[in-house]
Amino acid sequence: MTTTTAVTAVLLLGLPIALFSCTSPKKSSVLLASPSGYILTNSVTHARLLPASSRHSFTYSTVCLLLSLAALEAGELDVGWGGRIFSYGGKYGRILGLRADPYLTPKDDRSIRGKLEELLRDRGYLGIEQKLHSTWILTMPSYFGFEGINPLTVYFCYKDISGKNELWLVVLEVHNTFHESHVYILEAGVKEDPIPASQSAAFDHRWTFPRAFHVSPFNDRLGYYVVSVKEPAFATHSPKPVISVHLHTPSPEGLPEPGPLKLTATLRTTLALPLETSTILYTLLRYPFVLFLSLPRIFYHAWILHYVKRLDVYIRPEPFAVSANGQLASGGVRWQTPSVLENWARQIVESYLSKVENVRVVLVPGDPSQSPTSFPNEKKPEALTIRFTTPRFYTILWMAPSAAHALALGRSEGIFDVDDEETFLRVFATEKRFDRTFRQSLRSLPIPDSLHRTLPIPENHFLDGQTSTIIGTAVILLHLALGALEKTIFRIARARTVEGDEPWKEWERAARVLAGERVENIKARGGVGSVVH
């Protein structure tokens, strides 16, 4: 169904119903003693304050849902002709919908509530058999099957204290445009900031914590968030939550505390209506296109910041590795899906490792939803542990001319590291031969002269015996072509990266790190975590 068809359907179906039963939707709030779901209209304001020459601000309206997870997953909130207006469990065959797959951990058959409980167990907030009490989700639904980017989903988790629901946790699930997501877990009464008396009516809670996830290409990943929350006032039957996010730069003195205010973003609910057929149609008649606009809006303002405000682009860094043992409360929950080439390279590497003798190699992904793998499974006299943040680790092993080159690039780009460098180089050692293979000649093309002098390139490659010459050569050529294409696209679009952050200069960065430079010093950083061209 096209966007035009979808909106037309809303108009044709909703107009008579809304006019008949929802002339004043606010009246419907008295029909339910305690609604378990609401449709919210919000005003969202963004403002960029630094650098001063790139100031920019804008305000827009959004539509989202505030729902009890228990009622949602029990089917109690399905609305209209068997859930044709709104229902849980899918995105097609309904006007608005929610399903579990886009939230928290991917490829997980559990419900949203089940995944949230497992996350809180992993991060040390729930016991093994402990269940969540009352939990509400604030999120944007799908619209006629279209699931736009959900920049922020908020979970309000409550505890039963003396028969009353008291806010326990606020879980922020942040999504970026690269299909990655990260959670920040904030506990009421724990490490909270005092709220000035002048703002006590506006907010109930405030926390400050380090930023750890890439969201905008116009900011580095440093700094601190100050998050202020006004929790939903369910007793009023018109809960109007407010979420305010302030991003501060790091302290200019290098102290572990916020510096100057750089960005602000505030979501403020202006209208909260019980989730009913009439209120859904009323809201969509007022805002028929708003649920389609999240991604176009992001691209539009990115264009302004880059081409008009002259901010250079930070290339997306790989997410920080997250411990799966509950040591880190906040952290990544969704990584990019491996590419076809990464999956192919993984098969090649695992085939090679299955034949290694005398050393047990353990591969530990940064994604906590992925389990470590061992080659071989049985114990060996020696062990080597490789920790990696992304499946790109496998393509680096395939494309780097040697194990030493792969390790240099993995460390400089923050892709992987090993617990024993000597054992790593021995496990991935290359058999000596007299003439260089064509595939090795191709692999050496991106290597700068400075690295040639530091690390000699062997005549053949340790992985070449795991696949045919034709397929192996084709994969190398494809990698090189994709790298050249990326650089060409940037040049045609006149897009500017932050100096030193260019993807096609990764081997130059590796050479500089091998020469003694610190990893964090090889990329330019503006004083406010942004670079103006």
Report which listed range, 18-32, 63-77, 242-256, is most confident.
Answer: 63-77
pLDDT above 50 for 114:
yes
Share of the chain above pLDDT 90, in %: 73
- By the 10 Å C-beta count (0-12 exposed, 13-18 middle, 19+ buried), 440 is classed as buried
pLDDT the model gives residue 522: 62
Q: State the average pLDDT for the chain.
A: 89
pLDDT above 60 for 31:
no
Q: Tell me which residue has tokens 């002339």.
A: 23
pLDDT above 90 for 290:
yes
Give the separation between CA 367 and CA 384, rounded to whole angstroms.
19
Report which listed range, 246-260, 338-352, 373-387, is most confident.
Answer: 338-352
pLDDT above 70 for 372:
yes
Which one, of 151, 492, 529, 490, lies nearest residue 317 by Cα?
Answer: 529
pLDDT above 60 for 19:
no
Q: What is the 3 state secondary structure string of 410-466?
A: HHHCCCEEECCHHHHHHHCCCCCCCCCCHHHHHHCCCCCHHHHHHCCCCCCCCCHHH
With vertex at residue 226, the alpha carbon angle to CA 164 and CA 147, rounded to the nearest 5 degrees, is 75
Give the pLDDT band of residue 381 (cuts 50, 70, 90). confident
pLDDT above 50 for 113:
yes
Average pLDDT for 118-136: 91
Give the separation between CA 442 and CA 439, rounded to whole angstroms.
5
pLDDT the model gives residue 526: 58
pLDDT the model gives residue 21: 44
pLDDT above 80 for 12:
no
pLDDT the model gives residue 33: 55
pLDDT the model gives residue 307: 97
Question: Tens digit of pLDDT for each residue in 226-268?
Answer: 999 999 988 777 899 999 999 999 988 778 889 999 999 999 9
Specify the amino acid at residue 406.
Answer: A
Average pLDDT for 421-444: 90
Give the pLDDT band of residue 2 (cuts 50, 70, 90). low
Average pLDDT for 154-178: 94
pLDDT above 80 for 223:
yes
Give the pLDDT band of residue 17 (cuts 50, 70, 90). very low
pLDDT above 70 for 390:
yes
Q: Both tokens of residue 361?
A: 């190699």
pLDDT the model gives residue 323: 55
Judge contact between 241 and 223, C-beta under 8 A: no
Give the pLDDT band of residue 143 (cuts 50, 70, 90). very high
Give the separation between CA 488 and CA 483, rounded to whole angstroms.
9
Give the separation between CA 357 and CA 272, rounded to whole angstroms.
65
